[in-house]
């Protein structure tokens, strides 16, 4: 924008026969006053896979705090740009020993070769170590991700600790906590376990130990208000099927956050016999599912259909209780069975004792 004397600009663009950009050079002579660009250009290469996320890693010497808003655009020719996301938050702040980070940019999947990261006015890029691309792959065998929200209850005598109960052994692969109030920051530790601890017997001096497995540890935050509010991102975990969960917050929060469990519902393949409808029974702690060679049967059916074959989709009807709470209890059998078993064992022990005493009193004659 400034005044320049005798400036000369030379722009050289080189393309392939198919229009692919190979080289872009801008040379200048003389004094040219300009403002440094705050845009980052990313070249994903020829025929890139679809990208739906970028993860930014700050350099070790990056100056903090970082609080930027990023616009993501895509192009194939560096001329026309398609907006993918606006005002994506990029944050890295240290507050009272807690590191608040949001260093991932999520946007609509893009097949274009070039991505352009443009900062909102007034921002400048910190020192970056690397930018990694991520893409979302949707397999045909996973289905849509479901989310269940669970309200917690405070644990007496332990400030900042909250417990949750899942509605079932869901195959959880992603977790999140929703803080109850805005402008809140807390370190979060998420743990889980499967079974409830049974009460100790009358002779037990101490209750049995409780083991919680660590699932995730991160900083949860809600900063700002309204449309400008920025919050942390959910955390991906390995497959967890536990029923009981707990969240420990530091510093201790007074109100329990909402625990969000994301999962892909289980899918089953059934080899049906007879006419529909069929009954699907689930939830018993005693019944054991036989290990039928379902995959081998499907492979054989698919081999006999050169054009491919897909099993017909079964839909669930209305669910009703079958055995009720009795299905959740271990099967010890009726009382008379236990008494009969102990009686048989006692009679057998008495007979062994009688035979032993007779042998000791009347040993067999020596040969």
Read off the pLDDT of each residue in 284-289 and give the average, rounded to a whole number. Answer: 77
Distance CA 320, CA 56 (A): 50
Distance CA 189, CA 214 (A): 8
pTM of the model: 0.63
Q: Provide the pLDDT confidence category of residue 3 given band limits of 50, 70 and 90.
A: low
Please give the pLDDT value at position 308.
67
What are the pLDDT digits (tens) for 248-268? 999 999 999 999 999 998 877
Q: Which of 219, 223, 229 is nearest to 249 (CA)?
A: 219
Distance CA 104, CA 280 (A): 43
Q: Provide the pLDDT confidence category of residue 204 given band limits of 50, 70 and 90.
A: low
Q: Provide the pLDDT confidence category of residue 234 given band limits of 50, 70 and 90.
A: very high
* Token pair 């890295």 in the structure block, residue: 92
Q: Provide the pLDDT confidence category of residue 7 given band limits of 50, 70 and 90.
A: low
Distance CA 326, CA 311 (A): 34
Q: Is the pLDDT of residue 338 over 80?
A: no
Distance CA 187, CA 183 (A): 14
Q: Provide the pLDDT confidence category of residue 1 given band limits of 50, 70 and 90.
A: very low
Please give the pLDDT value at position 315.
84
Please give the pLDDT value at position 23.
76
Contacts of 297 (CB under 8 A, 6+ apart): 271
What are the pLDDT digits (tens) for 130-148? 999 877 665 555 667 899 9
Q: Is the pLDDT of residue 119 over 50?
A: yes
Q: Which residues pair with 29 in a beta bridge?
A: 8
Token pair belonging to 100: 């608040």
Check: CB of residue 125 under 8 Å from CB of residue 103: no
Please give the pLDDT value at position 332.
57
Contacts of 181 (CB under 8 A, 6+ apart): 222, 255
Please give the pLDDT value at position 41.
92
Please give the pLDDT value at position 17.
79
Q: Cα–Cα–Cα angle for 76, 79, 85, nearest 5°?
A: 70
Check: CB of residue 194 under 8 Å from CB of residue 243: yes
What are the pLDDT digits (tens) for 16-51? 777 777 777 777 665 544 455 678 999 988 888 888
Read off the pLDDT of each residue in 284-299 and give the average, rounded to a whole number. Answer: 77
Q: Which of 43, 42, 94 is nearest to 70 (CA)?
A: 42
Distance CA 211, CA 8 (A): 73
Read off the pLDDT of each residue in 184-208 and give the average, rounded to a whole number. Answer: 73
Share of the chain above pLDDT 70, in %: 86
Read off the pLDDT of each residue in 327-351 and give the average, rounded to a whole number. Answer: 78
Question: Which stretches of 128-278 are assigned E, i.e. beta strand?
Answer: 128-134, 146-150, 153-154, 161-165, 172-178, 184-193, 213-223, 230-231, 235-240, 244-250, 258-263
User: What does the mean pLDDT of the chain come to?
Assistant: 83
Q: What are phi and psi of 319, to 5 degrees?
A: -90, 140
Please give the pLDDT value at position 218.
92
Share of the chain above pLDDT 90, in %: 34
Check: CB of residue 236 under 8 Å from CB of residue 172: no
Q: Provide the pLDDT confidence category of residue 331 given band limits of 50, 70 and 90.
A: low
Please give the pLDDT value at position 280.
84
What are the pLDDT digits (tens) for 52-72? 899 999 999 988 889 899 999
What are the pLDDT digits (tens) for 68-78? 999 999 999 88
Neighbours of 118 (CB within 10 A): 19
Kindly report each contact of residues 308-316 with a partner whose C-beta sits within 8 Å and lies 24 or more positions away, as own/partner: 311/269, 314/270, 314/278, 316/280
């Amino acid at each position: 924008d400034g005044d320049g004397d005798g400036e000369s600009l030379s722009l050289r663009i080189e393309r392939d026969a198919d229009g692919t950009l190979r080289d872009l050079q801008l040379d200048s002579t003389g004094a040219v006053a300009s403002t440094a660009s705050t845009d980052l250009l990313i070249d994903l290469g020829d025929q890139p896979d679809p990208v739906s996320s970028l993860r930014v890693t700050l350099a070790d010497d990056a100056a903090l705090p970082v609080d930027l808003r990023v616009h993501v655009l895509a192009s194939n020719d560096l001329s026309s740009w398609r907006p993918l996301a606006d005002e994506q938050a990029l944050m890295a702040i240290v507050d009272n020993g807690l590191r608040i980070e949001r260093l991932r940019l999520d946007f609509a999947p893009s097949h274009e070769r070039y991505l352009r990261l443009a900062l909102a006015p007034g921002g400048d890029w910190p020192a970056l170590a690397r930018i990694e691309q991520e893409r979302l792959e949707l397999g045909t065998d996973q289905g849509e991700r479901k989310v269940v929200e669970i309200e917690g209850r405070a644990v007496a005598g332990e400030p900042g600790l909250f417990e949750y109960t899942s509605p079932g052994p869901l195959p959880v692969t992603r977790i999140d906590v929703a803080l109850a109030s805005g402008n809140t920051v807390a370190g979060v530790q998420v743990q889980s376990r499967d079974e409830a601890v049974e009460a100790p017997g009358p002779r037990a001096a101490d209750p049995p130990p409780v083991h919680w497995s660590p699932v995730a540890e991160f900083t949860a935050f809600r900063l700002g208000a309204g449309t400008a509010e920025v919050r942390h991102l959910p955390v991906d975990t390995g497959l967890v099927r536990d029923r009981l969960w707990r969240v420990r917050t530091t510093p201790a929060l007074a109100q329990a956050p909402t625990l969000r469990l994301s999962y892909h519902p289980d899918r089953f393949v059934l080899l049906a016999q007879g006419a529909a409808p069929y009954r699907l029974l689930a939830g018993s702690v005693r019944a054991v599912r036989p290990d039928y060679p379902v995959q081998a049967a499907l492979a054989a059916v698919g081999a006999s259909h050169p054009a491919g074959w897909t099993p017909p989709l079964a839909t669930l009807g209305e669910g009703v209780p079958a055995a009720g709470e009795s299905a959740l209890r271990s099967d010890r059998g009726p009382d008379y069975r236990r008494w009969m078993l102990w009686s048989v064992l006692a009679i057998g022990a008495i007979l062994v004792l009688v035979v032993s005493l007779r042998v000791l009193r009347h040993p067999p004659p020596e040969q």
